[in-house]
Amino acid sequence: MPALDVNLSRFRFSPPIDLDIAGEMYDFHSGKPTNLKLSFLINQFVHSYTLLYIVPCAEVPRTVVLVTSDKERLKRLLAFWLEDIAQLFEHAAISDQSDFIRKWDKVKKEHTFDGKLEPSDRLAEWGFATREEIDDAISRYDKTSSVGDLSEALRTLREAMENYFD
């Protein structure tokens, strides 16, 4: 999952409850694109210490989610486009796992998991979606946004916030 990794620049004892405090704590000017394992991403949400969102505005064209877990809070804040996260949930909802393989990786000394997902008709069968809506969702597989434009949007937003208070 593509994300923007924003480093901690100033420690506070309380979690950031709004974007202004998050902007003071984390360096929005030097965010770096990163790729995360799905399990790591889920862990950030389950154990979220900070969970904020930015609605579209002049500086940020689409909704952004900012999250960090209690364990990662002193290192980073992660930023995602909301539609990328929604797409993960959509992918899970319209897929059935038809094959599952677990292997021991001797080099990494951990189990690796693999499998095969196939489109499911269960949402149509249950009346939650039409076949056309499912086909449309399937056409969106693996089309996540670039975080490069997310990095620029957050930098621009932070500069606007700094200039607003001057």
Question: Do residues 26 and 43 both lie within one domain?
Answer: yes
pLDDT in the model for residue 165: 52
pLDDT digits (tens, 9 = 90+) for 99-144: 777 788 888 887 776 767 677 888 888 898 888 888 888 777 655 5
Question: Do residues 68 and 118 both lie within one domain?
Answer: no
Which residue, among 9, 12, 14, 3, has the nearest Cα to 29 in the 3D structure?
A: 9
94 domain residue, yes or no: yes
Question: Do residues 131 and 106 both lie within one domain?
Answer: yes
pLDDT in the model for residue 143: 59
pLDDT surpasses 70 at 14: no
* DSSP classification of residue 63: -
Instruction: List the domain range (segments joined by +) for residue 30.
Output: 2-81+145-160
Question: Do residues 120 and 153 both lie within one domain?
Answer: no
Q: Once rounded to an integer, what is the mean pLDDT over residues 60-76? A: 87
Question: Do residues 69 and 6 both lie within one domain?
Answer: yes
Question: Whole-prediction pTM value?
Answer: 0.68
Alpha carbon dihedral 154, 159, 164, 166, in 10-degree steps, equals: 150
* Percentage of residues in the chain having pLDDT higher than 90: 1
Question: Do residues 75 and 149 both lie within one domain?
Answer: yes
Question: Do residues 18 and 70 both lie within one domain?
Answer: yes
Total domain count, the chain: 2
Sequence-separated (6 or more) residues with CB below 8 Å from residue 6: 26, 27, 28, 30, 31, 66, 76, 77, 78, 79, 154
Number of residues written out for the chain: 166
165 domain residue, yes or no: no
166 domain residue, yes or no: no
